[in-house]
Amino acid sequence: SAEAYELIWWDEGSPLIVITQRVIDKLQKRLGDEVPIAMGMRYGNPSIEAGFDELMEKNPDLERVFMVPLYPQYAMATTETVIEKAKEVWQNKYPQLEMITKDAFYDDPQYVKALSESIHPYIEEHDIDHLLFSYHGVPERHIKKRDITGDHCLKCEDCCNVNSPAHTFCYRHQDVKTTQNVARYLDLDNKDFNYSFAFQSKLGIDPWLTPATDNELVRLAE
């Protein structure tokens, strides 16, 4: 709701745009002006098409675009839709370009370090009883549809911890591994509190990934 967004809005504007622009500015300083950088959003402005347009305005002789979907874990509703939209713009408007896309980076050591160190001050400064990792949920059918084996995701016991090619596109597995990697980095197994993960923001009547964050909060409170 508008009221909810007002609670997180910054004086500079949308936190999403402000933070992304800060990342761009830092990266631009490191790479130099020879490598143009632009922002594009799947839903909202600036759009992915506007991002391509900006890159071409900065360097009309551009030959290759490296696109980084800013989603650590792969999901149909996020990573895949961004890639498909970018391909549409690229093929219809700038077919002369070569486009390369970065894979999911949930297990990248630098990502794990950054996420862990953003959590660390809170568990050091506060006397907590439980650390809950809450990920945005997706429908179970999305997980099953992207199972390249057709017989693993949500079908075998402890599927996320059983090695499988399906993990390449399994959002739940990548969330589980993110939690495990952060827990290892922060040595959570040797802390005097427990931790777990859950999924939030369910929409509609289809079965979504569980446990649900709201249910977990009730369970933990009990």
Angstrom distance (rounded) from CA 20 to CA 68: 12
pLDDT at 93 over 90: yes
pLDDT band at 156 (very low <50, low <70, confident <90, very high): confident
pLDDT at 120: 97
Q: Which of 46, 75, 101 is the last residue of a domain?
A: 101
pLDDT band at 4 (very low <50, low <70, confident <90, very high): confident
Strand partners, 197: 133
Angstrom distance (rounded) from CA 210 to CA 173: 13
**74 and 142, same structural domain?**
no
Number of domains in the chain: 2
CA proximity to 148, closest of 112, 176, 173: 173
Angstrom distance (rounded) from CA 53 to CA 57: 6
Provide the residue range defining the domain that includes 144: 109-221
Amino acid 21 reads: Q
Angstrom distance (rounded) from CA 112 to CA 27: 19
Q: What is the mean pLDDT of residues 32-58?
A: 95
pLDDT band at 96 (very low <50, low <70, confident <90, very high): very high
pLDDT above 70 coverage of the chain, percent: 100
* CA-to-CA dists, residue 22 to 19, 96, 104, 118, angstroms: 5, 30, 21, 17
**120 and 47, same structural domain?**
no
**125 and 203, same structural domain?**
yes
**142 and 80, same structural domain?**
no
> Two tokens at 81?
């839709």
Q: What is the mean pLDDT of residues 159-179?
A: 97
**46 and 137, same structural domain?**
no
* CA-to-CA dists, residue 42 to 69, 80, 138, angstroms: 10, 10, 17
Q: Which of 63, 82, 101 is the last residue of a domain?
A: 101
Q: What is the mean pLDDT of residues 131-155?
A: 97
Q: What is the mean pLDDT of residues 176-194?
A: 96
**The model's pTM:** 0.92
Q: Alpha-carbon dihedral of residues 74, 117, 137, 76, nearest 10 degrees?
A: -10
Contact status, residue 86 vs residue 120, Cβ threshold 8 Å: no
**212 and 138, same structural domain?**
yes
pLDDT band at 6 (very low <50, low <70, confident <90, very high): confident
End-to-end CA distance of the chain: 29
pLDDT at 212: 97
**Average pLDDT across the chain, whole number:** 95
Q: Which of 75, 101, 127 is the last residue of a domain?
A: 101
pLDDT at 39 over 80: yes
pLDDT band at 2 (very low <50, low <70, confident <90, very high): confident
**86 and 53, same structural domain?**
yes
